[in-house]
Amino acid sequence: MTPELASDPSAFPCEPPADLDDPDVIVGHDWRAFRKVKRMGDHWDRPGWSDHHRSYYWMLTFSEAPELLGLAEHCQKALHHLGMDPVPSDGLHVTMLRVGPTDQMSEDQVEQLIALTQNLPARAFRLLAHPLAGSRGAVRFSLTPWRPLIDLHAALSAVGDQACVPGGSPTSAFRPHLGIAYNNQARSAAPVINAVALLRSLPHAALDVTSVDLVELRRQDRAYRWRTVHSAPLSLEVASQTSFPTK
């Protein structure tokens, strides 16, 4: 059973959508939440992140997704006048779960984490990336459906608990998204919202998710960069019999 999401003031949107599967409900919910933002802050102004900081995360990465890359580049060009920091084409990702800072984890813990994900109880699935919405610190694609992402987050959290890693936010606070540009200054949100509104009629991009990556994440030149430590496969048995959504 999919874990329940809860209201969380630290998450964005604070409230989860009413339906975890319906694209119209999820996309509309993201957009309404973004339209209520009055001020945007500097995404990079976060305590604990220095040039030397390294941390393990579970992420979905998209090195071979030309449809997504083309859509992201189109939107980034259209938003160029806002002066945001675009996510590089080889840096597009969905952050699934924080595992822990590298200096707080032993090699044995990392090896145990990898071993535990050999039979991860999660299925491969298809995501749709929809233009366009945002948060208090970024412009991002909405993702649908949420249910397989939440199930995967819960499975990764359970594995992390077994390996006794520091961990990250609970599944109840998970809000899936795919950022394409980071806000780098304090500003009124209105000009950003107005620019984003012009791109919302673009078609979505389909993404087939067959694995999840354990990465060593760092910040570099106002972008996130990483070293892939392990790629955990997702089960294909049921996914091959499932009709992936196309809208």
Q: Is the pLDDT of residue 245 over 70?
A: no
What is the mean pLDDT of the segment spanning 54-69?
95
* Element containing residue 70 per DSSP (H, E): helix 66-78
Instruction: Round the average pLDDT of the chain to a whole number and report it.
Output: 94
* Element containing residue 188 per DSSP (H, E): strand 187-188
Q: Give the tokens for residue 157.
A: 């959290």
pLDDT given for residue 203 in this prediction: 97
Q: With 0-12 CB in 10 A as exposed, 13-18 as middle and 19+ as buried, what is 82? A: middle
Beta bridge partners of 139: 134, 181
Q: Maximum CA pair distance of the chain? A: 50
- For residue range 185-233, list pLDDT tens digits in order: 999 999 999 999 999 999 999 999 999 999 999 999 999 999 999 999 9
Q: How many CB atoms lie within 10 A of CB 52?
A: 8
User: Which of 185, 207, 170, 198 has its CA nearest to residue 68?
Assistant: 207
Phi, psi for residue 226 in degrees, rounded to 5: -155, 160
- For residue range 78-117, list pLDDT tens digits in order: 999 999 999 999 999 999 999 999 999 999 999 999 999 9
Cβ distance 181 to 89 under 8 Å? no
Q: Is the pLDDT of residue 137 over 60?
A: yes
Answer yes or no: pTM beyond 0.85.
yes
Sketch the domain layout of the chain as residue ranges.
Answer: 23-239
Output the CATH code of domain 23-239: 3.90.1140.10
Cβ distance 227 to 216 under 8 Å? yes
